[in-house]
Amino acid sequence: MKMLIATTVAEYREKLQQFFSEQDIAFYNEFEVRGIDKNHTKSHRVNNWFSGGNVPLEHIAFFTLVDDDQAKNIMNNLNICKTDMPNCNIKAYVLNVEQTV
């Protein structure tokens, strides 16, 4: 068993939901996440007036438990998506689940 965690900007929500449907994942958790993108440029006094380089980003996060084949297939689909759409902003992580209660 694997835990699949995925994050994306709201525009890619339907694409990720499509991947879940294709793998017959009937249940998953979805929630809104506010991310911060820290600007890596040198600090300047102008940043005091213009938010200091911290840009809030609206993301959607998903997590679910899947079997090994579902995890493998979703990761393959995401790799294909990133090849076909270089700006694809979906990030996914697969973690081993050693024990459940």
User: Cβ(96)–Cβ(2) under 8 Å?
Assistant: yes
Q: What is the pLDDT of residues 27-77, one digit of tens each?
A: 999 999 877 766 655 555 555 555 555 666 788 999 999 999 999 999 999
With CA atoms as reference, report the closest residue to 39 among 25, 30, 50: 50
Q: Say if pTM beats, i.e. exceeds, 0.85.
A: no
Where do we find the tokens 């990030």?
Answer: 91
